[in-house]
Amino acid sequence: MTKQQLFEQIQKKRSFLCVGLDSSLDKIPQHLLRYENPILEFNKQIIDATKDLCVAYKPNTAFYECYGKKGWETLTETWKYIPNDIFSIADAKRGDIGNTSAMYAETFFNEASSEMSFDSVTVAPYMGSDSVSPFLTFKDKWVILLALTSNAGHADFQSQEVGEDRLFEKVIKISQTWATNEQMMYVVGATRGAAFGDVRKLAPDHFLLVPGVGAQGGDLGEVCKYGLNSQCGLLINSSRGIIYASQGEDFAERAREEALKLQQEMEQILVKAGLV
């Protein structure tokens, strides 16, 4: 999916919502345990209930890898179930020496070998350009680079001064020599608020993947105030606040209700900004 195609989906659905599929056996409704693959059934019903309200799905691969072979099968089948016109994100946070990153890229991008071909994968930049470049060799695929995250520990490194810049600013500056805004996005946590203004000064045209709205307390209005650009430029992720809205048999309906609330708020923002 190209940047323009993603923006067209945002305009069509009047939404820039990404639904995080952080699906865990100990959190999904108990009645699903009677299914052969409870997590896959959960994911399918969540997707069916929300696919007209969101433009992206983001399975966090840790929630699948922990179940071994069965988990990888669930991740594969979940990817296959995501509609083709919805942006898919493998939230894997990979990053290693070049030949290892090349294998990670094969894992998430090469359907012929792995049975998965996500549109994008999250990547950690700490080891530098040679750890990221193997992901960029795949045509029409995206790297979503960790820049300024929503967790409390972000301050340990990301906000530390490195010369004239904070580390996250240096990451954004240097990484733009590796790829254009047609192939690279950045993760910027919703709880960072006004820091979106600093990010936009450095990366005015990039899409930003924004976790932390909902259960983590990020404010959608504040994020959009500083982060919106001429093509929206934001994918706002909500995971627990949507998928775990109910533990009952109505979980899919309740998930839809929560997704609809966000979509309606996003529609108002897009209309006000003149983007739809």
pLDDT of 87: 98
Annotated domain spans of the chain:
3-272
The arithmetic mean of pLDDT across residues 190-207, rounded, is 88
Could you give the residue numbers annotated as active site?
Answer: 93
Percent of the chain clearing pLDDT 90 (strictly above): 85
**CB-based contact 199:207 (threshold 8 Å):** no
The arithmetic mean of pLDDT across residues 2-23, rounded, is 97
The answer to whether the predicted template modeling score (pTM) of the entire model surpasses 0.85 is yes
For residue 217, pLDDT over 70 is answered with no
| Per-residue pLDDT tens digits for 133-160 | 999 999 999 999 999 987 878 888 888 8
Looking at CATH, the fold of the domain delimited by 3-272 is given as TIM Barrel (3.20.20)
For residue 212, pLDDT over 80 is answered with no
CA atoms within 13 A on the CB side of 36: 3
Taken in order 99, 103, 109, 110, the sign of the CA dihedral is positive
